[in-house]
Amino acid sequence: MDILYLLVPLSVALVFLIGAVFWWAVSNGQFDDLEGPAYRILMDDDGAGRESATRASLRRGADNERTRNSSRND
């Protein structure tokens, strides 16, 4: 029974600590945009750069194929 004299104040202090951390998070905007980061992962920001790099690699592959075919025909 004596342990309650320790546990009750400790639990009340813990509740106040959790409430303070939650209040800090809300006031600093931690919960403003919950879905934005999830969509930002899926969005392709550098699509133009990748597209040109893909075209360049395809061109190199086609050039290598032409070189192989021309050497076989000789």
Tell me the residue type at 18.
Answer: I
Gap between the Cα atoms of 74 and 66, Å rounded? 12
Q: Flag residues of the chain having pLDDT under 70.
A: 46-74
Query: For position 21, what pLDDT does the model report?
Result: 97
Global confidence as pTM? 0.48
Query: For position 64, what pLDDT does the model report?
Result: 60
Q: How many residues does the chain have?
A: 74
Query: For position 48, what pLDDT does the model report?
Result: 56
Domain ranges of the chain: 1-32, 44-74
Gap between the Cα atoms of 50 and 44, Å rounded? 10
- List, in order, residues 6 or more apart from 72 with CB less than 8 Å away: none
